[in-house]
Amino acid sequence: MSIYSIHSGSLEKAAQKLRSGGVVAFPTETVYGLGADAFNALAVAQIFEIKNRPHFDPLIVHIADTADVERLAFPSKTAWKLIEKFWPGPLTLVLKKKPGIPDLVVSGLETIAIRMPAHPAALDLIRAAKTPLAAPSANPFGYLSPTTAQHVEEQLGERVEMILDGGPCTTGVESTIVDLSGDKPKLLRPGGIPLEEIEKIVGLVDQQHPTSKPNAPGQLPQHYAPHKPLQILSVEAMRQHSLLAQSGILFFKKNKNHLKAKKNIVLSETGDLKEAATQLFAALHHLDQSDVKIIFAEPVPEIGLGLAIMDRLRRASAMNH
**Cβ 20 to ligand TXA shortest distance, Å:** 22
Spatial separation of the C-alpha atoms in residues 3 and 150, rounded to whole Å = 8
**Cβ 181 to ligand TXA shortest distance, Å:** 8
Question: Which partner in ligand TXA, Mg ion, none is near 94 (CB below 5 to 8 A by kind)?
Answer: ligand TXA
Residue 137 or 181: the one with the smaller Cβ distance to Mg ion is 137
Query: Which one-letter DSSP state was computed for residue 108?
Result: T
Question: 3-state DSSP: the chain helix, strand, coil percent, rounded to 5?
Answer: 35, 20, 45
Size of the site for ligand TXA (CB under 6 A): 28
Beta strands in 29-172 (DSSP E): 33-37, 60-62, 91-96, 111-115, 133-134, 163-165
Spatial separation of the C-alpha atoms in residues 257 and 188, rounded to whole Å = 37
To 10 degrees, the CA torsion angle through 115, 118, 122, 123? 80
Question: Which partner in ligand TXA, Mg ion, none is near 259 (CB below 5 to 8 A by kind)?
Answer: none
**Cβ 215 to ligand TXA shortest distance, Å:** 5
Give Cβ neighbours of residue 3 (< 8 Å, ≥ 6 apart). Answer: 149, 150, 153, 163, 165
Residue 173 or 287: the one with the smaller Cβ distance to Mg ion is 173
Give kind and range of the element (H or E) at residue 44: helix 41-51
149, 166 in Cβ contact below 8 A?
yes
Q: Find the binding residues for ligand TXA in span 3-62 (CB under 6 A).
A: 28, 30-31, 33, 57-60
Residue 164 or 261: the one with the smaller Cβ distance to ligand TXA is 164
Q: Find the binding residues for ligand TXA in span 51-70 (CB under 6 A).
A: 57-60
Spatial separation of the C-alpha atoms in residues 90 and 111, rounded to whole Å = 19
Stretch near Mg ion under the rule CB under 5 A, chosen from 114-122, 136-144, 164-172, 193-201: 136-144
Q: 224: alpha, beta or left, given left = phi > 0 and alpha = psi -120 to 50?
A: left
Give Cβ neighbours of residue 271 (< 8 Å, ≥ 6 apart). Answer: 252, 253, 254
Residue 17 or 62: the one with the smaller Cβ distance to ligand TXA is 62
Q: How many CB atoms sit inside 10 A of residue 3's CB?
A: 16
Is residue 170 at the binding interface for ligand TXA, with CB under 6 A as the rule? no
**Cβ 101 to ligand TXA shortest distance, Å:** 10
**Cβ 246 to ligand TXA shortest distance, Å:** 31
Q: Find the binding residues for ligand TXA in span 203-232 (CB under 6 A).
A: 215-218
By CB under 5 A, name the one of 137, 170, 171, 317 that touches Mg ion: 137
Residue 109 or 310: the one with the smaller Cβ distance to ligand TXA is 109
Stretch near ligand TXA under the rule CB under 6 A, chosen from 173-181, 258-266, 272-280, 301-309: 173-181
Burial 267-295 (b: 16+ CB within 10 A, else e): bbeeeebebbbbbbbbbbbebbeeebebb
| CA angle centred on 15, ends 12 and 19, rounded to 5° | 135
**Cβ 138 to ligand TXA shortest distance, Å:** 7
**Cβ 137 to Mg ion shortest distance, Å:** 3
Binding site for ligand TXA (CB under 6 A): 28, 30-31, 33, 57-60, 90, 92, 94, 106, 109, 111-113, 117, 135-137, 174-175, 177, 188, 215-218
Binding site for Mg ion (CB under 5 A): 137
